[in-house]
Chain A
Amino acid sequence: MFYQRWFKQRWILVVIGLAIADTVLSIWIGQQSYRWVPPQASAESILVDDLFCLMTTVGSLIFFGVVGTLVYSMIFQRSPKYDTSDGPPIEGNLKLEVIWTVIPSIVIVGIAFASYQTYDRMEILGDIGPKSLGMATANAAPMTAEVVKTDPIEVRARQWAWEFYYPEQAVSSTELHLPVNQRANLKLTSEDVLHGFFVPAFRIKQDIIPGREIDFEFTPIREGRYRVRDSDYSGTYFAANQSTVVVESAAAYQDWLAMAAAQSPTPAQNRAYREFQRSRENPNSQGWATVEPAAPPVVNYASSDEESYE
């Protein structure tokens, strides 16, 4: 009698101990998750990383719980070789089934709510509809105190080059320069097919839809050079369609704008165009027919695509 109760209690203790171990392990893995992503270079990235940490922690808890149970069964509950008997005919347990319906539901609602809040605080996306619908959703006047807004930087995507145009200074560039700690406003347009504006260090991404102008915004918070990648498959030279975003102090940013404005437009280097010309000259080219890349953009500031980034 006593032994039975002791045995039962010991089981409860073991289960509690394992649950604590699972929790500790999961929290540790959750903390590791910050190291799996690029440096946090935008305000949005902090929000997204916190959310990712939360989901990694909860996910690890579930994963190790479920897999641990399975592995325990596989190791310790094996049938002896010549034992043909059956296990206990347990067909279900209402209480248990209710528990594993209700608790995951609550967890899911929690994650969904956290995600909603994160998305709400990011506020990256402006008007997205087709051009003709734009009028219906445009706000009459900005609600915030900051009435004077700079014109958004135009991001022009094409097969296969990025071109960034600063309308106030009439500066064009193949490299995106942004001042640190200021809200960056972009207007995303595409001249041909779908592209995607993706800066991993900022944790932001937006498909660019030909025929639409998409307002997009975020806040860089860390100086440095980061990669801009085309994220929505855009044809033959899709993988080569990359550029650099440079985040710098407000002063350096203004200097750069002034310097670029003073330069006369020159054709930039363009990897897709270069590769295409090379393959056209090569008689042994093994490729199939492709859409011709657009000529390299003619810009005030042309970066070399070999330049480094973080």
Chain B
Amino acid sequence: MAMAATNRWLQTHLRRSDPVSTTNVDQSLEVATVHAGEHEEEDNRMFGFIVFLLSESVIFLSFFVGYIVYKLSSAEWYPAGFEGLEVREPLINTIVLVSSSFVIYFAERFLHKENLWGFRIFWLLTMAMGSFFLFGQAVEWLHLPFGFKDGLFGGTFYLLTGFHGLHVLTGVLLQGVMLGRSFIPNNYAGGEYGVNATSIFWHFVDVIWIILFILIYVWR
């Protein structure tokens, strides 16, 4: 008896069974996000990736805040005998890295127009510029007179540039993977989520570097 009552209740409360009323319903749809096809799934991944990047940016933000607080509050900021950072080479590095953001944009445009070789050339150029940046960074590290353990400046300097450099390295590796995948026939015929995500990641790494450059090299 209870079962029957429950079923009757379900009929009226959960499911509309007369087909006529469904037409009204279709007009009242607010969102239609079902039937996850290929495209739908790519969009989801892009959405998720952007959410992840936003979250990731908070780590950098925290390090930046730490850097600012330390710089404002410590009495002796630079390690003894150190006058300040050389700006010239890092500036060249910065220009190369920031320009690579435009280069990768053109690579993406080529892919969009299905010009694979144009894509590959510009993509490779981006990789070269990223690698140049990493090389420049390594050279700078090797010639600095202070280490990771030398005071708060040494600590935050290597922490920030190191963590950022890790992201540049990740970006270059991702670009390598995408380049390799461009040789798989028809791989980028449908969507090119991987390429787009790598590109967004690259812009993200660039923006972080600009803030980092201003904080560490420009702000005295």
Residues of A at under 8 Å CB distance from B? 84, 129-133
Contact = CB atoms under 8 A, between A and B. Distances in A.
A133 B75 CA distance: 8
B5 A84 contact: yes
B110 to A, nearest CB: 54
B5 A132 contact: no
B5 A130 contact: no
Contacts of B5: 84
A129 B73 contact: yes
B74 A132 contact: yes
CB-CB nearest 6 A-B residue pairs: A132-B75, A130-B73, A84-B5, A133-B73, A132-B73, A132-B74
Interface of B: 5-6, 9, 73-75
A84 B73 contact: no
Nearest to B6: A84
A130 B74 CA distance: 8
A173 B177 CA distance: 69
B75 A131 contact: yes
A131 B74 CA distance: 9
Contacts of A84: 5-6, 9
Nearest to B74: A132
A131 to B, nearest CB: 7
Given A84-B5, A130-B73, A131-B75, 7 more contacts: A84-B6, A84-B9, A129-B73, A130-B74, A132-B74, A132-B75, A133-B73
A133 B5 CA distance: 74
Nearest to A129: B73
A268 B9 CA distance: 79
Nearest to A130: B73
Contacts of A129: 73
Contacts of B73: 129-130, 132-133
A87 to B, nearest CB: 14
Contacts of A130: 73-74
A84 B7 CA distance: 12
Contacts of B9: 84
Nearest to A133: B73
Contacts of B6: 84
Nearest to A85: B9
A84 B2 CA distance: 9
A129 B73 CA distance: 9
A131 B9 CA distance: 72
A251 B6 CA distance: 85
B59 to A, nearest CB: 25
Nearest to B76: A132
A145 B5 CA distance: 85
A304 to B, nearest CB: 42
A133 B74 CA distance: 8
Nearest to B5: A84
Nearest to A132: B75
A178 to B, nearest CB: 33
A131 B75 CA distance: 9
A129 B6 CA distance: 67
B200 to A, nearest CB: 40
A133 to B, nearest CB: 6
A202 to B, nearest CB: 30
Nearest to B1: A82
A131 B76 CA distance: 12
A84 B9 CA distance: 9
Contacts of B74: 130, 132
A130 B75 CA distance: 10
A84 B4 CA distance: 12
6 contacts: A84-B5, A84-B6, A84-B9, A129-B73, A132-B73, A132-B75
Nearest to B72: A133
A18 to B, nearest CB: 36
A129 B5 CA distance: 70
Contacts of A133: 73
A205 to B, nearest CB: 24
B161 to A, nearest CB: 25
B77 to A, nearest CB: 10
A307 B6 CA distance: 72
B4 to A, nearest CB: 11
B64 to A, nearest CB: 19
A84 B74 CA distance: 70
Contacts of A131: 75
A97 B3 CA distance: 38
A132 B74 CA distance: 7
Nearest to A131: B75
A113 B6 CA distance: 54
Contacts of A132: 73-75
A83 B8 CA distance: 14
A132 B75 CA distance: 6
A130 B69 CA distance: 11
Nearest to B9: A84
A151 B73 CA distance: 27
